[in-house]
Amino acid sequence: VSAEPAARRSKRTTSLQHRELELRRDIAEAYFNATSPIEVYRLALARVTPLIAASFSSVFLRDAAEPDLLRMVCAHSWPQASARFLGQLRIRVGRGPTGRAVAEGKPIEVRDVFADVSLRDWWEPARELGFASLIALPLQAGNGRIGALSFYYERAHEFSDDERNLLSVIAQQLSITAGRANETERLEIANRELRAQVETLTTQVGESEEMQRLKTEFLSNISHELRTPLTSILGYSYLLLDGQHGGLNPPQALALRKIEDSANVLLQLINDLLMLTELKLGRSEVVVIPEDAVLIARRAAEKAQPSAQVRFSMEAADVRVPIQTDVEKVLCILENLLSNAFKFTKQGEVVLSVRRLGFGEQQRIEWTVRDTGIGIPHSELPTIFDEFRQVDGSSTRLYGGTGLGLSLCLHLTRALGGEILVDSEEGRGSVFTLRLPATYPGASRFTF
Ligand code: ADP
């Protein structure tokens, strides 16, 4: 064996290898820049066809509606005369070299169509299109064969191993690219759908928030409007009961007292509703003053109504527990918690305790209201702070109330940058815990 042919062979191989590498790089680049797989096929055909000295080429893919048929999706240098038929061209999977490449999953080579009588059916189209030889390579994506890549020669052509290798590498890379591009396309479609859904949802949330705001605004306005006539009902009841319009007989006085009591209940409800709506609309001002948390607890307890069967006691680890917060709001929370504790406890005790937690900037103050009352079922605990929520209908009849107290407590606590927790056991009692930062964290306004 002389040295010269070997050197020539190695030179040719090197240059093909080089071109193969270049091609692979270009296809990979096309994949990254392409917006659809067709663009990548088009580039591959345009680059590979001249490289292997083929006359023209095409990519056939399975038809989405009829997967047994292959449809041409792109072509390179396809003969002008038949170019207008391209869109209608269909090849059945398994038929002809291209159909067989898809069916069998391997390259199909035809050196000379006219030399093979089994391809007699293809003689006429081959003559019309002007090819005598072709090679078809299957395109694989995922687990399935999605189509084929076909290169055509005007004259009979003997395929070299170098050509075969190059084409199989290209077909492989195109398959991967097609698979990824399909995936990318699917993801992009899914992404677009998701984005549209997010937009719709955002609009809906916005609308719903706006409706909530309008509802709260309406409640706030109506509460204001209700307060005025109620004030006159209470005012005139007082004047009558005071005898300022003459004496009353006992039934009249009793009836008037009932009117006054009911009007007071209504006023409380309206005031609670007003406070709640103002908090929800972010219109409630936080007025911060330095105070003693033990003193706040004592002031809240003054309003409590203990009975003979229910003992009340206070516990505080320190004599003084300094805090800087909105005292009126804390009082409102504690009074509500104590009022509930007494309302739902027929016997036993109610204990209000105060302590500080942590140090420095992290320091928090904790008040707990513990009772030995009817308790709250575990299933009800997550919803107990919702507006107008009462454990059951009978609780309203038995204990009265509106179901606004705890909701108000929750919104007040949030306005003060704190948290409110509940722990309870049905039939044993409940513990409500209020924790607030020792120093109100918002933009504070001190009033001394
Ligand atoms: P209201 O007391 O006006 O009904 P709240 O919002 O203050 O409204 O309380 C909601 C519900 O939570 C009450 O109706 C009651 O069922 C339950 N609840 C609250 N506090 C207690 C408690 N200390 N013990 C038992 N149940 C309670």
Q: Which ligand 1 atom is nearest residue 401's CA? A: 3
> What are 266-288's pLDDT values in tens digits?
998 888 888 998 898 888 899 99
Secondary structure class of 338 (helix, strand, coil): helix
**Poorest-confidence range of 62-76, 148-162, 173-187, 398-412?**
173-187
Q: How far is the CA of 239 from the centre of ligand 1 (A)?
A: 35
Q: What is the pLDDT of residue 154?
A: 95
**Ligand 1 close to Cβ of residue 384 (< 6 A):** yes
Q: Is the pLDDT of residue 262 over 60?
A: yes
Q: What token pair was written down for 244? A: 């300022």
Strand partners, 433: 368, 421
**Best mutation site among 340, 351, 379 for ligand 1, i.e. most ligand atoms within 8 A of its Cβ?**
340
Closest residue by Cα to atom 21, ligand 1, is: 340
Q: How far is the CA of 339 from the centre of ligand 1 (A)?
A: 9
Q: What is the mean pLDDT of residues 352-377?
A: 94
Closest to 76 in 3D by CA, of 103, 41, 106, 101: 41
This prediction's pTM? 0.58
> What are 34-71's pLDDT values in tens digits?
667 788 888 889 988 988 899 999 999 999 899 999 99
Q: Parallel, antiparallel, or unpaired for β 69-76 and 289-292?
A: unpaired
How many whole angstroms separate alpha carbon 22 and alpha carbon 254? 103
Q: What is the pLDDT of residue 210?
A: 87
> What are 73-100's pLDDT values in tens digits?
899 998 877 777 777 788 999 999 999 9
How many whole angstroms separate alpha carbon 366 and alpha carbon 356? 6
Q: How far is the CA of 344 from the centre of ligand 1 (A)?
A: 8
Closest to 144 in 3D by CA, of 38, 73, 75, 64: 64
Q: What is the mean pLDDT of residues 22-38?
A: 75
How many whole angstroms separate alpha carbon 132 and alpha carbon 310? 107
Q: Which residues contact 255 (CB under 8 A, 6 or more apart)?
A: none
Q: How far is the CA of 25 from the centre of ligand 1 (A)?
A: 72
> What are 304-342's pLDDT values in tens digits?
877 889 999 999 988 899 999 999 999 999 999 999 999
Secondary structure class of 132 (helix, strand, coil): coil
Q: How far is the CA of 358 from the centre of ligand 1 (A)?
A: 30
Secondary structure class of 17 (helix, strand, coil): helix
Closest to 123 in 3D by CA, of 133, 136, 135: 133
Q: Which range scores top for mean pLDDT: 103-117, 259-273, 375-389? A: 103-117
Closest residue by Cα to atom 8, ligand 1, is: 403
How many whole angstroms separate alpha carbon 412 and alpha carbon 25? 65
**Ligand 1 close to Cβ of residue 389 (< 6 A):** yes
Closest residue by Cα to atom 1, ligand 1, is: 403
Secondary structure class of 369 (helix, strand, coil): strand
Q: What is the pLDDT of residue 209?
A: 87
Angle (nearest 5°) at CA 325 between 323 and 331? 95
> What are 285-304's pLDDT values in tens digits?
999 999 999 999 999 999 88
Strand partners, 290: 324
Q: Parallel, antiparallel, or unpaired for β 133-141 and 289-292?
A: unpaired
How many whole angstroms separate alpha carbon 298 and alpha carbon 281? 31
Task: Indicate the average pLDDT of the chain.
Answer: 87
Q: What token pair was written down for 151? A: 């290169």
Residues 262/290, Cβ–Cβ less than 8 Å: no
**Ligand 1 close to Cβ of residue 369 (< 6 A):** no
**Best mutation site among 310, 336, 390, 408 for ligand 1, i.e. most ligand atoms within 8 A of its Cβ?**
390
Q: What is the mean pLDDT of residues 369-390?
A: 90
How many whole angstroms separate alpha carbon 345 and alpha carbon 238? 33
Q: Is the pLDDT of residue 150 over 50?
A: yes
Strand partners, 353: 315, 368
**Poorest-confidence range of 21-25, 77-81, 126-130, 351-355?**
21-25
DSSP 319: S
How many whole angstroms separate alpha carbon 40 and alpha carbon 323? 70
Q: What is the pLDDT of residue 325?
A: 96
**Ligand 1 close to Cβ of residue 55 (< 6 A):** no
Q: What is the pLDDT of residue 11?
A: 55
**Ligand 1 close to Cβ of residue 368 (< 6 A):** no
Closest residue by Cα to atom 16, ligand 1, is: 391
Q: What token pair was written down for 199? A: 């937009």
Closest to 294 in 3D by CA, of 351, 226, 240, 365: 365
Q: What is the pLDDT of residue 10?
A: 56
Q: Is the pLDDT of residue 141 over 90?
A: no
**Best mutation site among 265, 349, 384, 399 for ligand 1, i.e. most ligand atoms within 8 A of its Cβ?**
384
Q: Is the pLDDT of residue 3 over 50?
A: no
Task: State the CB neighbour count (10 A cutoff) for residue 229.
Answer: 10
Task: Tell me the percentage of the chain whose pLDDT exceeds 70.
Answer: 92
> What are 231-248's pLDDT values in tens digits?
999 999 999 999 998 999
Closest to 92 in 3D by CA, of 79, 105, 101, 81: 101
Q: Parallel, antiparallel, or unpaired for β 348-357 and 310-316?
A: parallel
Identify the band that residue 6 occupies on the pLDDT scale cut at 50, 70 and 90: low
Closest to 150 in 3D by CA, of 83, 97, 103, 106: 97
Rg of the chain on CA atoms, in Å: 43
Residues 265/296, Cβ–Cβ less than 8 Å: no
